Amino acid sequence: MRREGESAASTARSAQTLSEIADTLGMPTSVFSLRETPNARSVAGSEAANECGELVRAYLGIRDPDKRRRLLELVRSMGDEE
């Protein structure tokens, strides 16, 4: 599903990026689907994997680059607290 004005090359790059993220996290790319599928949660396996998928879907929905950057900084700072 392409957004208005998005090129096929951009779509391919996005798909490749999601595939690399999924591989790194050890989960299928289906957990990043913007549409909730019946087995997306069960396929991912663990609660942490499901939460990660939700976090990535939410992050991808943020169009403002400054907001994405602030969210990333927040998540990183929370990880440093432990």
The closest alpha carbon to 53, from 25, 12, 14, belongs to: 25
What pLDDT does residue 66 have? 93
The closest alpha carbon to 49, from 33, 26, 21, 68, belongs to: 26
Give the whole-angstrom CA distance, residue 40 versus residue 54.
11
Decide if 43 is inside a domain: yes
Q: Which domain holds residue 23?
A: 8-80
| 25 alpha carbon, distance to own chain's centre | 11
Decide if 26 is inside a domain: yes
Decide if 13 is inside a domain: yes
Decide if 1 is inside a domain: no
Decide if 2 is inside a domain: no
The number of domains in the chain is 1
Task: Note the pLDDT tens digit of each residue in 15-64.
Answer: 888 888 877 777 777 776 655 555 545 554 577 777 887 888 888 888 89
